[in-house]
């Protein structure tokens, strides 16, 4: 099972590197033809033709500066990856923490990615509060 989990991690890292290096073929190589990607803020892409179009349009405006995989959790054909993402888009630099739930098909290709985002800067909203 460890070898399968390592393959899943390698595929996720290759997907991230495709974005980082602006390498469309590297990215598409690990995706199922029927892949379904849901971004953390709502857009979704179904099939590699939509992913290819998204990739090209996105890179016309921006570039990924960092996408670091920080931690992986595995269960069968699903992997959760915690990551940090930073990009420059339309001249603005932004970064955030995130999680992706990644499901793999029976051939080991990425079939589904569901992304979730968190602000990088956190604050203690109730620090110093007293009990009511």
Predicted confidence at residue 1, as pLDDT, reads 65
pLDDT at 73: 97
Position 51 scores a pLDDT of 98
DSSP for 5-19? HHHHHHHHHHHHHHH
pLDDT-derived band at 132 (thresholds 50, 70, 90) equals low
Please tell me the distance from the alpha carbon of residue 56 to that of residue 22, in angstroms, as a whole number: 9
Four-CA torsion 91, 31, 50, 79, nearest 10 degrees: -70
Band of the pLDDT at 64, cuts 50, 70, 90?
A: very high
Place of tokens 């604050």: 123
pTM higher than 0.85? yes
* Cα distance between residue 69 and residue 33, in whole Å: 24
Quick: pLDDT tens for 20-57: 999 999 999 999 999 999 999 999 999 999 999 999 99
Tell me the pLDDT tens digit for each residue of 82-126: 999 999 999 999 999 999 999 999 999 999 999 999 988 887 888
Q: Give the chain's length.
A: 132
> Cα-atom radius of gyration of the chain, to the nearest Å?
16
pLDDT average, residue stretch 61-74? 98
d(CA 16, CA 67): 6
pLDDT band at 129 (very low <50, low <70, confident <90, very high): confident
């Amino acid at each position: 099972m460890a070898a399968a989990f390592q393959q899943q991690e390698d595929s996720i890292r290759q997907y991230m590197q495709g974005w980082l290096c602006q390498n469309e073929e590297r990215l598409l190589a690990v995706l199922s033809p029927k892949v379904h990607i849901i971004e953390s803020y709502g857009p979704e892409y179904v099939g590699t033709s939509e992913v290819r179009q998204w990739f090209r349009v996105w890179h016309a405006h921006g570039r990924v500066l960092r996408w670091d995989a920080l931690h992986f959790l595995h269960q069968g054909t699903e992997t959760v990856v915690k990551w940090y993402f930073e990009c420059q888009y339309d001249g603005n630099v932004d970064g955030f923490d995130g999680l992706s739930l990644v499901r793999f098909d029976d051939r080991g290709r990425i079939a589904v990615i569901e992304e979730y985002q968190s602000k990088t800067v956190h604050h203690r909203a109730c620090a110093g509060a007293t009990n009511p």
